[in-house]
């Protein structure tokens, strides 16, 4: 994909078809990470001139960031499940609890850590919440997150199981991170069950956060009543599914890529100071019906912290209500590729339906 950059197990921005096997490290540990977007009936003129109070309200409602090494006192989790949104409990009970029990009965090591109390939380790194305007000044709500701590635990656990399953055959691999699980094996079946559960958790996580995001806007006294979900898009960009391509059933891993089947909607964000695109797939078979998932990094986080100054960051996000401190320099627009160039390189994969520009951004 045109946003490709280095990653563990596989480059981020890869589409990998495999026959009768899956490479857990290629899928990665941010299983089910993806985007959600909702168009509202609001217009730019309905928003207050200063969006700082709205940003602070969003930050107070949705746990974000990471402290305590991701432990029980992590500020990015709900430390008391009794204070969690009702929707978190509802989705956990109806869609996730039994599946988690089934997985952890067989693999108890993945139980330990934040799970339910991460349902409705943003995380850190490149995860974000944004208020955006489209080409007609309609207001959109946009967010980016995945399966949080439990996805990381499950991904890491099965990466090691794959290496163990390979045994002596590991030495024949170009890289140990290409260790795979073979279809029909017990670990393969358990991984497919677990990874699909993580993808459901990730989607539910975005659903809870979107509900909280919309409620934060409703709490702003100067914003008039509105309706949402005029257009709603949700898509994974780190996941694996069984699909048929070129006449064969394959396990297709999209690591930093979005499905772009003909007529299917997707979301391709830029950096926190650049455009985001709502797109419609063209169904190009040569890309395995896929497109890029974003701009893609051009600097590592370490490089960005060394090279991007706070003054440069402030200038790059001018006009966007967001944090402007040294803690977010690794997410500064300069750390990413030019999204316009990325979009120009995939005109055969997607068509642009809406172009969004952010006016507010919350980072973990």
pLDDT tens for each residue of 72-92: 778 999 989 999 999 999 999
Phi and psi at residue 152, to the nearest 5°:
-65, -45
Residue 196 known to be catalytic = no
Question: In angstroms, what CA-CA distances link 33 with 102, 114, 182, 334?
Answer: 22, 17, 24, 23
pLDDT tens for each residue of 125-165: 899 999 999 999 999 999 999 999 999 999 999 999 999 99
Q: What is the pLDDT of residue 94?
A: 98
DSSP string, 214-279: HHHHHH-TTSPP----SEEEEEESEEEEEEEETTEEEEEEEESEEE--TT-EEEEE--TTS-EEEE
* Structure confidence at residue 213 as a pLDDT band (50, 70, 90): very high
- Choose the weakest-confidence range: 11-20, 67-76, 87-96, 229-238: 67-76
Q: What is the pTM of this model?
A: 0.96
Give the three-class secondary structure for 181: strand
CA-angle at 84, arms to 194 and 31, nearest 5° = 25
Q: What is the pLDDT of residue 169?
A: 85
Helical axes 148-166 vs 186-219, angle rounded to 10°: 160
Catalytic residue among 127, 293, 313, 354: 293
Contacts of 49 (CB under 8 A, 6+ apart): none
């Amino acid at each position: 994909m045109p946003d490709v950059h280095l990653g563990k197990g596989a480059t981020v921005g890869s589409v990998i078809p495999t026959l009768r096997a899956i490479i857990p490290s290629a899928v990665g540990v941010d299983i089910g990470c993806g985007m959600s977007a909702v168009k509202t009936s609001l217009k730019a003129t309905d928003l207050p001139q200063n969006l700082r109070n709205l940003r602070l309200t969003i930050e107070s409602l949705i746990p974000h960031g990471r402290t305590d090494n991701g432990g029980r006192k992590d500020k990015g989790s709900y430390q008391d499940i009794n204070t969690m949104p009702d929707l978190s409990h509802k989705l956990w009970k109806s869609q996730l609890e039994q599946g988690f029990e089934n997985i952890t009965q067989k693999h108890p090591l993945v139980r330990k850590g934040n799970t339910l109390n991460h349902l409705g939380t943003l995380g850190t790194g490149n995860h974000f919440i944004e208020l955006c305007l489209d080409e007609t000044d309609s207001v959109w709500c946009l967010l980016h997150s995945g399966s949080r701590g439990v996805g990381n635990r499950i991904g890491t656990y099965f990466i090691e199981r794959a290496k163990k399953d390979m045994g002596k055959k590991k030495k024949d691999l170009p890289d140990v991170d290409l260790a795979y699980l073979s279809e029909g094996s017990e670990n393969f079946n358990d991984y497919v069950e677990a990874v699909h559960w993580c993808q459901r958790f990730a989607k539910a996580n975005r659903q809870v956060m979107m509900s909280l995001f919309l409620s934060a806007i409703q709490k702003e006294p100067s914003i008039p009543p509105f309706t949402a979900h005029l257009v709603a898009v949700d898509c994974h960009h780190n996941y694996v599914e069984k699909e048929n391509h070129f006449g064969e059933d394959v396990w297709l891993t999209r690591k930093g890529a979005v499905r772009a089947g003909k007529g299917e909607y997707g979301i391709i964000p830029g950096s926190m100071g650049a455009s985001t695109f709502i797109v419609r797939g063209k169904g190009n078979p040569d890309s395995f019906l896929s497109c890029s998932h974003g701009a893609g990094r051009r600097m590592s986080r370490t490089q960005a912290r060394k090279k991007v100054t706070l003054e440069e960051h402030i200038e790059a996000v001018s006009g966007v209500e967001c944090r402007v401190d040294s803690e977010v320099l690794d997410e500064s627009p300069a750390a990413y590729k030019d999204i316009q160039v990325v979009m120009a390189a995939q005109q055969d994969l997607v068509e642009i339906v809406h172009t969004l520009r952010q006016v507010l951004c919350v980072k973990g």
